[in-house]
Structures are given as structure tokens and as C-alpha cells.
């Protein structure tokens, strides 16, 4: 028999992280507006921090997901890295939520879908008036390649729930999260359901 882990013998603190649902959040091809709206729940953030543990998120600066209960995805897919990150969330989060217009239908970034991405890059980085001589399309190997078209995230992975809005209001996010955490069935209420 193994010696008992000293850490395991500590009295369980009320805010024991291991017993709380873990939430991961990310902004893909979004504007961070949905994350700002999450911060807009104001003093309810304290309650939220009491009942959940944040994993990978711009709020924690953790770079990769551990096993999580909920993954909140802001933004659609505009480049290869977005797809990679989304797949990591799907692999490690039990419940994946599309948060906001861009995650749900591509949103504003998808308004470029009628245009040719190669031509856009040339227009912006090479042909635009006022550029330095010799300017060219950035081609560093560390830069993720843009996709030909922006995609909604449900095009690539299964999405369990959608939380619409641009952004969803703080009240919508609060109503959604608290009902999701309570019984796994998020309820927005008509007053919180907006696509704009």
C-alpha cells in the first residue's frame, strides 16, 4: 500500500478547487467582446469564482486546457490555429458552448467570405497606398495560415449549446452559466435571447 499523500490529508477547504466545475474560455476569431461581457457580470464574478475554477482562459493566462467541465468558445474560425484550439477544447471539455454571433455563424469576420483571401492579403499588405516600399504579405512560419473562408465552430466540432448575442449581455451569460451549472440544462429566458 502506498503512503498516504500528505496533500490528501489536509482538511478540505470550502473552496477546494478539485471539487468545483472547471471552466475554460477562449476567443478565436472574435473581438473579446464576449469576454468583456463575461467581466460585465460585475460583483457576480465573486460568486462565480466561488462555484467554479477557471482553467485555460485569457483571465488565467493558462495556455492549454486540462480536463474541463465547460468550454466557452468566443469567435469563429478564421485560421488554422483557431481550428487547432477548438479541437483541443472539444477533446478536453465535457460541454462546449458557442458564445456570441461569431462562434455561432462566423459573425463579422465571415463578412469577408465573399472575397478571395489571397487578394485581401495582397490588397492590405502589398497594394494599399502608403505602405513602405517592398512591403509584402507576412510569411513567418509561426503565423497561422488564414482559412479561405471563415467558419462557424459547429462546422468543425459538435457544439452542445449556443449562447447568442453580439455580445450576449452580462445577464444572459449569468443566466446561462448558472442554469448550466445547476442541472446541465442552460436556460436563457426570452428577455436574454438576442442575436444582436
Partner 1 sequence: MNYFTLDGLEVPFEEGDTLMSAARREGHYVPHLCWHPRLGQSGACRVCTVKVNGRLAAACTTRASADQMVENRTTELDAKRRLLLQMLFVEGNHFCPGCEKSGDCLLQATAYEMGMTGPRFEEFYPDRPLDASHPDTWIDFDRCILCKLCVRASTEIDHKNVFAIGGHGIDTHLVVDSPSGKLVDSRFSADDFAAGVCPVGAILPKRRGFVIPIHERRFDRAPVAEESWLENDASTRESTDDTGGHDEGA
Contact positions toward partner 1, by CB under 8 A? 98, 101, 104-108, 110-111, 113-114, 149, 151-152, 154-155, 159, 161-164, 166, 188, 190, 193-196
By beta-carbon proximity to partner 1, the closer residue of 65 and 159 is: 159
Q: Which is nearer to partner 1, 72 or 152 (CB)?
A: 152
> CB of 114: closest distance to partner 1 in angstroms?
4
Which residue's CB is nearer to partner 1, number 45 or number 166? Answer: 166
Q: Do residues 164 and 175 touch, judged by C-beta distance below 8 A? A: no
Which of 41, 188 has the CB closer to partner 1? 188
Return all residues near 184 (Cβ < 8 A) that are at least 6 apart: 95
At its nearest, how many Å lie between partner 1 and the CB of residue 193? 5
- Residue 42 CB, nearest approach to partner 1 (Å): 19
15 vs 116 by CB, closer to partner 1 = 116
**Which residue number, 140 or 196, has a Cβ lying nearer to partner 1?**
196
Q: How far is the CB of 76 from partner 1 (least distance, A)?
A: 10
Q: How far is the CB of 90 from partner 1 (least distance, A)?
A: 16
Quickly count: other Cβ atoms within 10 Å of residue 196's Cβ: 6
Cα-based angle 72, 20, 96 (whole degrees, multiple of 5): 20
CB of 196 to partner 1, least distance (A): 4
Spell out the residues 6+ positions from residue 178 whose beta carbon is closer than 8 angstroms to its own: none
Amino acid at each position: 500500500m502506498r503512503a498516504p499523500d500528505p496533500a490528501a490529508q489536509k482538511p478540505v477547504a470550502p473552496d477546494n478547487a478539485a471539487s468545483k466545475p472547471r471552466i475554460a474560455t477562449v476567443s478565436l476569431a472574435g473581438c473579446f467582446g464576449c469576454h468583456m461581457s463575461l467581466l460585465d457580470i460585475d460583483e457576480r464574478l465573486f460568486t462565480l469564482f466561488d462555484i467554479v475554477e477557471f482553467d485555460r482562459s485569457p483571465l488565467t493566462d493558462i495556455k492549454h486546457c486540462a480536463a474541463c467541465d465547460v468550454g466557452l468558445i468566443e469567435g469563429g474560425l478564421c485560421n488554422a490555429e483557431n481550428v487547432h484550439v477548438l479541437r483541443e477544447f472539444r477533446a478536453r471539455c465535457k460541454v462546449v458552448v458557442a458564445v456570441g454571433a461569431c462562434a455561432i455563424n462566423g459573425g463579422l469576420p465571415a463578412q469577408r467570405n465573399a472575397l478571395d483571401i489571397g487578394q485581401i492579403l495582397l490588397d492590405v499588405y502589398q497594394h494599399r497606398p502608403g505602405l513602405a516600399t517592398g512591403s509584402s504579405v507576412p510569411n513567418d512560419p509561426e503565423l497561422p495560415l488564414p482559412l479561405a473562408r471563415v467558419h462557424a465552430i459547429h462546422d468543425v466540432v459538435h457544439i452542445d449549446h449556443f449562447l447568442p448575442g453580439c455580445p450576449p449581455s452580462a445577464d444572459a451569460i449569468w443566466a446561462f452559466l448558472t442554469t448550466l451549472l445547476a442541472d446541465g440544462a442552460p436556460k436563457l429566458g426570452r428577455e436574454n435571447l438576442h442575436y444582436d
